[in-house]
Structure 1
Amino acid sequence: MPVSNNYKENVRVALQSVKSNKLRTLLTAAIIAIGLMALVGILTSIDAIKASLNSTFSRMGANSFTIRNRGGGIRFGGPGEQPKRHPSITFREAIAFKERFDYPATVSVNTFASQGATAKYGSEKTNPNINIIGGDREYITTGGYSLSSGRNFSKSEVDYGANVVIIGEEIKTRLFPNLNPVDRFILLGSNRYKVIGIFDKKGSGASFGGDKVCVVPLLKARQISTSSKPTYTITVMSTDSRQAEATIGEATALFRNIRGLSAGKDDNFEITKSDAIVQTLLENIKWVTIGAIVIAFVTLVGASIGLMNIMLVSVTERTREIGIRKAIGANPSLIRQQFLYEAIVICLIGGLAGIVLGILIGNVVAMALEASFIIPWMWMVVGVVLCIVVGIISGIYPASKASRLDPVEALRYE
């Protein structure tokens, strides 16, 4: 019998066996599907998170950095040195830096006035989770925002701390579902502000509450700050990405001078590049990736044990059939191939279902983060290869047992 005919015959017999034992096949395939769904789903979600983070911080530009009183170290538990806390950056120091920094760059100063405020308009109000940020005219640029309507602060509004505000998209949707909020007045706490602009949608999931923000003039934020010792953040965006490192050097030297640090003293402030936060987050996400792989591995080990047991039962149930096939000329190699193909077919059925479900789950996360649709080709290939490997490992012993059966004893089996 030609090799190609043997192959076709074994695949046909494997498919017939799968069809004749639908419930058993479904249960085994479901275990494999769950394992691969967990693997592909979590890894697709991680790819979506990475794409969303890179998109969010790329708006700020890879050539921007911040000067703050605490480093950008981000940790998700576990041992490790905590980020250093340095003296607060005062309003005087921040403004002095902005006025004296003459390197070609855009400089803005901002601070958190409140991180749990409620915005009200008429009978409508938001949840008490609104961030009130004080910023200058350059904050929109350095913060990665754009305006969907309205305008930026004027110079006089910033200089005199006027009661004006630019609101995030989510606040606009909540308070003004059918109205244009520009030139209307809202309450933030006990203060009344005129809405002069609305930020374009930024995505709160991807950008840490970017749509639940109210930006007021910096001087106004200083007046209403809920902190007894507010700290200010300075953001510098170099006009030439090739000069980014030189800009950081100039900024460091100037701020050391403003703080009166002598040559032998360490910096008592932190400079964080805009892409450093992304890199820190991505570094920690790798542990989630490892967790997904471990979950999938444990599930697939359980599935392979279950599949091996089912194949052994199948060999026992089909002992007489094996005897007949041997009697009419099938050699041990063909019998072994038949059962191996059957195990691989069952794995592929479960694997393909798991891959499809994993992609769907991962892209639900991508939609929530407003990332583009992701097709994880690499993980799809890995999933198919895993299915074939699991099928071979699970089927090799039952197939070998079937190929070694004595045809005479097999024909007499009841």
Structure 2
Amino acid sequence: MPLLRWITGIALLLALAGPATARDALTVLLFADPQVKSARDIDYYARDIVEPLRADGGMGADLGITLGDIVDDAVALYPEVNAATARLGIPWLHVPGNHDLDPGAEGDAGSLSAFHRSYGPDSYVREEPEAAFVVLDNVVKLPGAGSGYVGGLREDQFAMLEAWLPAQPHDRLLVLAMHIPLFDTAAPGRAETFRRADRERLFAMLRDFPKVLVLSGHRHTQRHYRHGPADGWHGATPLHEYNVGAASGAFWSGAPDAEGIPDATMADGTPNGHALLRIAPDGDYRLSWHPARLPTHDPAFTQAMALHAPAVLRHGAYPAWAVYANVFMAEDDSVVEYRIDRGDWRAMAKVLRADPRLLAENVRDDAAGALRGYDRSPEAEVSAHLWRGALPTDLAPGEHEVEVRTFDRWHGEQRALTRYRLDQAAPGHGASRWKAAHGGTGLATATR
């Protein structure tokens, strides 16, 4: 019975939980969407995500969670991806995703048989002194093969929460780990991506708990979402959901680097990687994003942000061009500032547009005469964490330094740096090169 499966899962995990010695904080590695579909992808996952963490001592983590889409419709690969993750040597929790369903599943019941064989229950609780982790399968397979899925919860899951939550202390953090975000991402006029009735029912159960954090994946982008009354949340403060960026980034796509690993930048400009959650004994938590690969000796691309600016502008031109900062963990109210040549700090404006860094990569793919990788980088989409600052053109000709800083909610001030140059030019500048390239007059010739 489903409820028995819940209870068995809880009993097993409670027996395993708890530190052997006292610790200052519980440290948790967060992976979303490794989404491997082949031996090649498992190699990328191992070399790009797992092995660098092993070399860093697992960042001192006590626990790990994968937030669904462990594989990409390839459940036969569970043993191999598990073997890679197990090299980190810490307890690991697995959340099922929509790409972890059994091939050909006709409905929700029985759609996770391969997952259950590999990982046990799909929904369960693990209790630690600092927090209780509630893992929830929130992918509801719709009836009929190939008919899709929707975000939601089952009756047995609600029954478990109704039985378990009343006995929980209110001063301990509750961490809900799931795959599909609780916030709706459907385009206008499209079906909801998470059943509103289920979300409101869950929120009603959690309303009186002051310390709740929701972790989700699925989107292959990254953002923070603060649930409020419009979403059905009526707690004392907004409910924080961290929609974690993907370990696979944009599905292991993009031009490969010198090691043969695809660029994997996500559609919102966030680099692929993993997150880290640190929970203090009082339930306060800190989050951070860790790109899988940072360019060496490039101050414009840091763990916190990536900058994009033009290399050269005309001295005295109308200042229509800008530096952009993609601040990977920023929220709508984040403060992002910039300064030129170590002058006064000025506020940057949050903008809803695609990251120019990824747009430039899209153009490089378009212009290439041959494929630059197995799969192209994704088409750039509007980023939820992009800021813009206009670059002055009335400074002295020559190179100018642009410094950007943000004030991270959990880790304080973070900085990045880039440069641009102002060149003098007379009207008609560049025309001679155009004429040489196009055969003389510079006048367009019509052909019929």
Quickly name the TM-score band, shorter chain normalised: under 0.3
When you count strand as a share of all residues, which structure comes out higher? 2
Q: TM-score, normalised by structure 2?
A: 0.24
When you count helix as a share of all residues, which structure comes out higher? 1
Find the structure with the greater CA-based Rg. 1
Q: TM-score, normalised by structure 1?
A: 0.25
Structure possessing the higher relative contact order (Cα contacts under 8 Å, 6 or more residues apart): 1
